[in-house]
């Protein structure tokens, strides 16, 4: 990497709006947690609860940043999922590794003295970025502490890897000096959060610059179980539904449904996606969007010979609004379908 590239990566967390907002958010939460820990027992307990959720979230989000930078993708927005203790457990492995290292360092200090401890800590922080890079690529904590994987990663990054500890040390010293000299405590927490995220974004940038994610000979992530895949799929659909709701609730129905249709067209199971989005809209307080989408769903079911689902959907929509009808081009098909299955209740409404 050229000096200009390094400089661009140093300021990247401050120039990318998504990362900057995350720095302010997490830095503020960590500052608030530190304030709570300084007061009486009740606030101490509250501060510990805050720390229990916030600290793992910081590490999890930092790992997501590394993954995005390593693959050349845009930084993701920190959402409520990063605070979940059971979402993507591999994302908190950097924290567990740091805790384990702390205990080992205490043991070494007790038995071997400060010199051995300093050597151990220096070695750990020299290989820590490589470990995080392997973790971001493989999602495997075991691979991230494999000596063979670490050597491969460092070798693949080449001389650029050396810049990671050098730049991080320089930035840390500068922010530390500023924090102790002139800046308020709150700002020092923001600077500390920036420095921490820089460790991950810079590592990801080095990995991406060398094309390591695509070329390095490291075992691929373990294939997800069907349950995990389904959970991720539902989470993705929910994000799209929430986004679409924002558009539709502000009167932009076209924009909202555009997002939904784009998702359905790329969904691995379009039939299930159509049903999922309809059911989700039926949970909204205003059912107009669901009824509108119901016409598209009904047509989808008809054209895919899903008669039972089509009739069930028609019943649901007419229960919400007796005036509901399929689209004009599908009404005759709907009548024929109701006749075939003896649904007199639907026939009476469809023929009006």
* Residue where a domain terminates, one of 192, 215, 238: 215
* Residue where a domain terminates, one of 190, 215, 240: 215
Inside any domain, residue 108: yes
For residues 168 and 239, membership in a common domain is answered with no
Structurally, how many domains does the chain consist of?
2
For residues 240 and 197, membership in a common domain is answered with no
* Residue where a domain terminates, one of 186, 215, 244: 215
Inside any domain, residue 77: yes
What is the C-alpha separation between 274 and 265, in angstroms, rounded? 10
For residues 203 and 326, membership in a common domain is answered with no
Residue span of the structural domain in which 314 resides: 229-350
Per-residue pLDDT of the chain (352 residues; tens, 9 = 90+): 788 888 899 999 999 898 999 999 999 999 998 888 887 677 778 878 888 889 999 998 999 889 888 877 777 777 777 787 766 778 888 899 999 999 999 999 888 888 999 999 899 999 999 999 988 888 888 888 888 888 988 888 888 899 999 999 999 888 888 777 777 888 889 999 999 999 999 998 898 887 765 544 444 444 444 555 556 778 888 888 888 888 888 888 898 899 899 999 888 888 899 999 999 998 888 889 999 999 999 999 988 888 888 888 998 898 888 889 998 888 888 898 888 888 887 888 887 7
């Amino acid at each position: 990497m050229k000096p200009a590239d390094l400089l661009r990566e140093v300021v990247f967390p401050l120039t990318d709006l998504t990362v900057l907002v995350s720095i302010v958010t997490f830095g503020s939460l960590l500052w608030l947690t530190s304030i709570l820990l300084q007061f009486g027992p009740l606030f101490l307990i509250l501060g510990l609860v805050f720390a229990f959720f916030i600290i793992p979230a910081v590490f999890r989000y930092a790992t997501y940043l590394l993954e995005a930078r390593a693959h050349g993708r845009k930084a993701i927005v920190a959402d409520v999922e990063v605070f979940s203790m059971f979402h993507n457990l591999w994302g908190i492995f950097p924290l567990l590794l740091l805790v384990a290292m702390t205990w080992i360092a205490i043991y070494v200090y007790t038995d071997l003295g400060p010199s051995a401890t300093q050597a151990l800590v220096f070695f750990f922080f020299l290989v820590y970025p490589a470990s995080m890079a392997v973790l971001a690529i493989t999602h495997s904590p075991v691979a991230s502490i494999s000596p063979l994987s670490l050597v491969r990663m460092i070798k693949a990054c080449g001389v650029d890897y050396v810049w990671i500890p050098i730049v991080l040390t320089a930035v840390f010293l500068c922010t530390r000096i500023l924090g102790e000299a002139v800046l308020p405590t709150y700002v020092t927490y923001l600077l500390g959060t920036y420095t921490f995220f820089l460790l991950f974004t810079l590592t990801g940038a080095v990995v991406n610059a060398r094309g390591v994610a695509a070329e390095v000979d490291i075992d691929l992530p373990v294939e997800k179980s069907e349950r995990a895949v389904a959970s991720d799929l539902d989470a993705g659909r929910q994000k799209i539904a929430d986004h679409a709701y924002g558009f539709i609730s502000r009167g932009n129905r076209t924009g909202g449904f555009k997002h939904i249709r784009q998702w359905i067209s790329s969904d691995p199971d379009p039939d299930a996606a159509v049903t999922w989005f309809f059911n989700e809209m039926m949970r909204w307080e205003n059912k107009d969007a669901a009824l509108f989408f119901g016409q598209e769903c009904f047509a989808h079911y008809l054209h895919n010979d899903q008669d039972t689902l089509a009739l069930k959907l028609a019943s649901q929509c007419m229960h919400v609004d007796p005036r509901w009808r399929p689209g004009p081009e599908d009404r005759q098909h709907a009548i024929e379908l109701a006749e075939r299955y003896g649904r007199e209740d639907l026939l009476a409404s469809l023929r009006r």
